[in-house]
A = this chain, B = another copy of it.
Amino acid sequence: MKLNVGIIGAGRIGKLHAENLLSFQDVHVKAISDLYIEPIKDWVRSKGIPKVSTNYREILNDEMIDAVLVCAPTIVHAEIIYEAIEAGKHIFCEKPITFDINETYKIHSVVEASNIKFQVGFNRRFDPHFSQVENGVRTGEVGNAHIIKITSRDPEAPPPEYIKSSGGLFMDMTIHDFDMARFLSGSDVEEVFATGTNLVDPVFKEFNDIDTAIITLKFANGAIGVIDNSREAIYGYDQRIEVFGSKGCLQADNDLTSTVKKLGKNGTLQDNPKHFFLERYQKAYICELRAFFDSIKHDTKTLCTINDGLEAERMANAAKKSLEMGTPVKL
């Protein structure tokens, strides 16, 4: 028996999920919706998706559909989520859940009171390298964790229209690292101190945003941590993590585009990291959906819950406040 799924929002990530789902033998993409369907009609047909619509409610009203992927803009997440819960659909929701922490708290309550499965799209938890580190930490390979370090730099800045409605660096980009910090430590965060600045491009300043940041964390379990972010690393997508503890240190380095080295007059040249998230987290995107549908099929807890989504937003909010006030902020 196949699970029927509807995808709400056919932007880059919605289409990526749709294509990945085609190889799932127990999942059927039954419908996709987007406000603008003209440009994707050919794509929908070529992928064999039976139904496309401008109205996501057609998906929610389809009783055959078991689950929805919420890939619409963050600004409309809340509305869709409430209706989807009402309709009894399981929900996979891209991050962040909402831009308004109070709204997210409310959604949290409603989800908790329901029987639906809710998974947040923190894809990096499902990266094979990072989950191997998390597994090592959890099983005691590094002993007690002392210091957690996350390097996370994008290869290129997004366009101005994206920046404008992104929610800012902490809510848009660092939110993945905030979740990774909780994932790796197995602990909530109690205090955040953020330093941020404009070094990459003045356009960020225009939108009252930053492009470069260092965020210090204090975990409830006593460990401390640090995240550093940049909106532009010209050598590619820099995604490294490190957990240092009493028994050693686990590191996941960048995943390079190739193992080839060229030894020449001026040194040995090796390929750069995989270009950006689509290349770097290709497997992670598949694994997170696999995990979501498995949790539906086996009626188990999702591996990235609404609470994980909420906590990451709380950290993003605290970081923003810390940056504005110039002091650490307790959660």
Q: A224-B212, A267-B269, A327-B328 are in contact. Are A146 and B230 (CB under 8 A)?
A: yes
Give the distance in Å from the alpha carbon of A259 to the alpha carbon of B223 in the complex: 24
Contact of A259 among B25, B216, B254 (CB under 8 A): B254
Neighbouring B residues of A195 by C-beta, 8 Å = 193, 216, 218, 224
Contact A146 B212 (CB under 8 A): yes
Neighbouring B residues of A25 by C-beta, 8 Å = 46
Contact B199 A259 (CB under 8 A): no
Give the distance in Å from the alpha carbon of A212 to the alpha carbon of B267 in the complex: 22
Q: For residue A193, which residue of chain B has the nearest CB?
A: B193
Neighbouring B residues of A199 by C-beta, 8 Å = 144, 146, 222-223, 246
A97 CB to nearest chain B CB (Å): 29
Q: For residue A241, which residue of chain B has the nearest CB?
A: B260
Q: A212-B147, A224-B212, A270-B268 are in contact. Are A235 and B263 (CB under 8 A)?
A: yes
Contact A259 B252 (CB under 8 A): yes
Q: What string of 1s and 0s marks CB contacts (under 8 Å) between A178-199 and chain B? A: 0000000000000001011101
Give the distance in Å from the alpha carbon of A327 to the alpha carbon of B185 in the complex: 24
A312 CB to nearest chain B CB (Å): 20
Q: A144-B199, A195-B216, A264-B234 are in contact. Are A259 and B255 (CB under 8 A)?
A: yes
Spot the interface stretch: A62-70, A114-122, A127-135: A127-135
Q: Does A89 contact B (CB under 8 A)?
A: no
Q: Does A4 contact B (CB under 8 A)?
A: no
Give the distance in Å from the alpha carbon of A268 to the alpha carbon of B216 in the complex: 27
Q: Does A153 contact B (CB under 8 A)?
A: yes
Q: A199-B223, A259-B253 are in contact. Are A147 and B271 (CB under 8 A)?
A: no
Q: For residue A245, which residue of chain B has the nearest CB?
A: B199
Q: Does A307 contact B (CB under 8 A)?
A: no
26 contacts between A and B (CB under 8 A): A23-B23, A129-B260, A133-B260, A144-B199, A146-B199, A193-B195, A199-B246, A200-B246, A214-B216, A228-B244, A232-B246, A234-B246, A234-B247, A235-B265, A247-B264, A249-B262, A250-B261, A251-B261, A251-B263, A252-B259, A255-B259, A267-B271, A268-B269, A268-B270, A268-B271, A270-B270
Chain A: residues with CB nearer than 8 A to chain B?
Answer: 22-23, 25, 46, 128-129, 132-133, 136, 141, 144, 146-147, 149, 151, 153, 193, 195-197, 199-200, 212-214, 216, 218, 222-226, 228, 230, 232-235, 238, 244, 246-255, 258-272, 326-328
